[in-house]
């Protein structure tokens, strides 16, 4: 049986390669634990100078987490889903606090959980094939794996726009927004990896040597619209602003927004508002774990996964169906802290 995660040592470079191509390398609980085990072993190994994360074959870097398995758990007691989130968020936090240079090659689809393992890395390489998104509101979830931290720190209201609509960014847009540190043509990746294995401690310089000039970032021309139309603090205010604008861009984004779970959209806006104020990434992971453990058991998450990924009828029955019917109390309950003794905890020495 082929492992879903390949770990190898290439000279002074530790390599982690996602290897689940039929699922576009979507993360499982076991994959998260395997990646963490390698990172922990290399953290204190003086022979390893840096760590590179990419995918072994097939299209896409990582399509996210195995949400179908999470939804199955959510229809029961949710314990397996909570265990997955605990392991995944430990991996995210371990990467965020890692003491050695880390490099992620975001070639192809990079969504959800894939964003969670790429954005903590110090060197983040986008290509002409990169398609980065946090599309969770379309399945009744929210932009987790640190989304509340990363998206809330993007310029203007870009983070809110991405969280609500699930907008897909190409490699040039990722570089423009700082989500990627370098833009490297896919054809140059093999030579770049060879250079990294020779001198991994100088990863940023190596990536810079192979960087190309990205095309004009399409999102740049939409920044004024995003800042103006997604300025509202509430979902109802954002929708009202889009409805009042007669431009084609606003109409398109309004149609997209109306296809998302109203509950998830409200949860996402609140997560970003609170995430902007958090003092540490560990605090973000602790809050997202409590939230995810509850959201995974909601009707909208189970229904969203059914409609988009299981039956694929693309007709989710959101409950409530409109933002005005989502009670503040419902959202408040989802944001409660975990009971004592059930909280998320980081790996030792990474707190």
Longest dimension (CA), the chain: 60
| Cβ-Cβ contacts under 8 Å for 99 (sequence gap 6 or more) | 43
Strand partners, 52: 15, 103
Candidate list 65, 146, 159, 166, residue with the active-site label = 65
Does residue 156 carry a catalytic annotation?
no
Does residue 136 carry a catalytic annotation?
yes
Candidate list 14, 113, 114, 140, residue with the active-site label = 113
Does residue 65 carry a catalytic annotation?
yes
| Cβ-Cβ contacts under 8 Å for 346 (sequence gap 6 or more) | 90, 93, 94, 97, 282, 285
**What residue has token string 């949400």?**
67
How far is 84 from 65, CA to CA, in rounded Å? 9
Candidate list 49, 107, 136, 253, residue with the active-site label = 136
Does residue 113 carry a catalytic annotation?
yes
Q: What DSSP string describes 221-274?
A: HHHHHHHHHT--SSHHHHHHHHHH--SHHHHHHHHHHHTS-HHHHHHHHHHHHH
Burial class (CB in 10 A: 0-12, 13-18, 19+), 55: buried
Candidate list 144, 284, 288, 303, residue with the active-site label = 144
As annotated, the active-site residues are 65, 113, 136, 144
């Amino acid at each position: 049986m082929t492992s879903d995660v390949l770990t190898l040592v290439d000279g002074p470079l530790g390599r982690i390669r996602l290897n689940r191509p039929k699922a576009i390398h979507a993360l499982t609980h076991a994959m998260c634990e395997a990646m963490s085990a390698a990172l922990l072993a290399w953290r204190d190994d003086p022979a390893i100078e840096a760590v590179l994360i990419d995918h072994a074959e097939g299209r896409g870097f990582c399509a996210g987490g195995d949400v179908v398995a999470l939804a199955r758990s959510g229809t029961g007691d949710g314990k397996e889903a909570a265990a997955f989130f605990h392991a995944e968020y430990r991996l995210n936090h371990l990467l965020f606090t890692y003491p050695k240079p880390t490099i992620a090659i975001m070639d192809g689809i990079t969504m959800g959980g894939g964003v969670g393992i790429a954005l903590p890395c110090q060197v983040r390489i986008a290509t002409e094939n990169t398609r980065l998104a946090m599309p969770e509101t379309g399945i009744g979830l929210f932009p987790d794996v640190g989304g509340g931290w990363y998206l809330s720190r993007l310029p203007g209201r870009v983070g809110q726009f991405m969280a609500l609509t699930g907008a897909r960014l190409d490699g040039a847009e990722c570089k423009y927004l700082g989500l990627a540190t370098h833009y490297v043509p896919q054809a140059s990746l093999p030579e770049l990896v060879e250079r990294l294995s020779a001198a991994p401690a100088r990863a940023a310089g190596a990536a810079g040597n192979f960087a190309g000039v990205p095309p004009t970032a399409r999102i740049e021309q939409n920044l004024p619209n995003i800042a103006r139309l997604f300025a509202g603090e509430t979902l109802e205010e954002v929708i009202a602003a889009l409805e009042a604008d007669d431009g084609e861009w606003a109409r398109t984004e309004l149609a997209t927004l109306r296809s998302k779970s109203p509950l998830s959209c409200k949860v996402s806006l609140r997560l970003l508002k609170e995430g902007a104020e958090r003092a540490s990434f560990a605090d973000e992971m602790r809050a997202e774990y409590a939230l995810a453990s509850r959201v995974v058991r909601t009707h909208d998450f189970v229904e969203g996964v059914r409609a988009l990924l299981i039956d694929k009828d693309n007709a989710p029955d959101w409950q409530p169906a409109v933002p005005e019917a989502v009670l503040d109390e419902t959202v408040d309950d989802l944001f409660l802290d975990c009971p004592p003794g059930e909280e998320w905890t980081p790996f030792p020495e990474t707190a």
